[in-house]
Amino acid sequence: MLTDYHLHLRPDEREKTAERFFTPANAERYREIAAERGIAELGVAEHVYRFTQALDVWQHELWRDSARDDLDAYCAFVREETDLRLGIEADFVPGREDRIANLLDQREWDFVVGSVHFLRDASLDTEDFTIWGGGESAERIWRRYFETVAESARTGLYDLIAHPDLVKVWGERAPRPDKDLRFFYEPAVEAFAESGVAVEVSTAGLRKPVGEIYPARPYLEMVLDAGCPIALSSDAHTPQQIGFEYEKALELLDELGVRELTVFDRRERRMEAIG
């Protein structure tokens, strides 16, 4: 089987409203394209910060501007009007673990995706609030990023860790550390192994300036050496992006001897053969 967890039913722009995109017809378009591409297992994981309840967790300006929809209405829609697995992409906000847990525990997810898009108030992957060019060295940003990813895994809040080297998203447009990047991956891999979390292989990086799968091959090799289960996603924000460039991901997984993917059901995990 093939999976595409971590789908978004709408693009990230704020004007893309729930009313327009959280519809059975839109979910059906995702299903149809997935079927054409041989992907049986689909899970939706909308960004938590688009929901008003997220403001109980964090009050970043981007979140205040984006939080418009009701989280329970989203859950009810996915459960009652689609056949997609229900997930959420819940940013890890250090120090707010109890609030994140409170938001998550009140709802019945199939899976919870953990992601790190910010280091304190600064964004890794958007031009607004960007961390890049603010005087902090690439080395320090990378180190802080992977330490935060490690911390997110150790919280036990998440079933899978998304795009686990998002810090590279800008490619050559942002500075990169000089030293062997495996030095930075190490604490994250250790935390994945200790916490037993699944690690996402995401083709989304191929659509970004970096033009590379998340995680980078040497990082993925370390993740596999540590025995971590793999989840496969495109992080699609439109139906056309479902299974985006999966042939590249499948080739990489095959070369590295990965034969199974993680499947989630009500936060229980099982492994299914790729195919």
Binding site for Zn ion (CB under 5 A): 89, 115, 235
- Shortest separation between residue 163's beta carbon and Zn ion, angstroms: 6
Residues in the chain: 275
* Cα torsion angle, 150, 155, 159, 163, sign: negative
Closest to Zn ion by CB, 89 or 150: 89
Q: Mapping DSSP to helix (H, G, I), strand (E, B) and coil, where does residue 96 land?
A: coil
Query: Long-range contacts made by residues 205-211, C-beta under 8 angstroms, separation at least 24?
Result: 205/163, 205/168, 205/169, 206/244, 206/245, 206/248, 207/241, 207/244, 208/125, 208/169, 208/170, 208/171, 209/169, 209/170, 209/171, 209/172, 209/173, 210/168, 210/169, 210/170, 210/171, 211/171
Closest to Zn ion by CB, 53 or 115: 115
Contact 115, 159 (CB under 8 A): no
- Shortest separation between residue 68's beta carbon and Zn ion, angstroms: 18
- Shortest separation between residue 169's beta carbon and Zn ion, angstroms: 10
Q: What angle do CA 110, 111, 115 make, to 5 degrees?
A: 160
Closest to Zn ion by CB, 48 or 228: 48
Closest to Zn ion by CB, 2 or 169: 169
Closest to Zn ion by CB, 89 or 159: 89
- Shortest separation between residue 88's beta carbon and Zn ion, angstroms: 10
The Cα 122–Cα 45 span in angstroms is 23
Q: Residue 65 is encoded by which pair of tokens?
A: 């501007």
Contact 270, 160 (CB under 8 A): no
- Shortest separation between residue 244's beta carbon and Zn ion, angstroms: 12
Closest to Zn ion by CB, 42 or 254: 42
- Shortest separation between residue 151's beta carbon and Zn ion, angstroms: 17
- Shortest separation between residue 186's beta carbon and Zn ion, angstroms: 22
**Which helix (DSSP H) or strand (DSSP E) does residue 100 occupy?**
helix 97-105
Q: What angle do CA 252, 253, 254 make, to 5 degrees?
A: 90
Closest to Zn ion by CB, 4 or 235: 235
Q: Mapping DSSP to helix (H, G, I), strand (E, B) and coil, where does residue 49 land?
A: helix
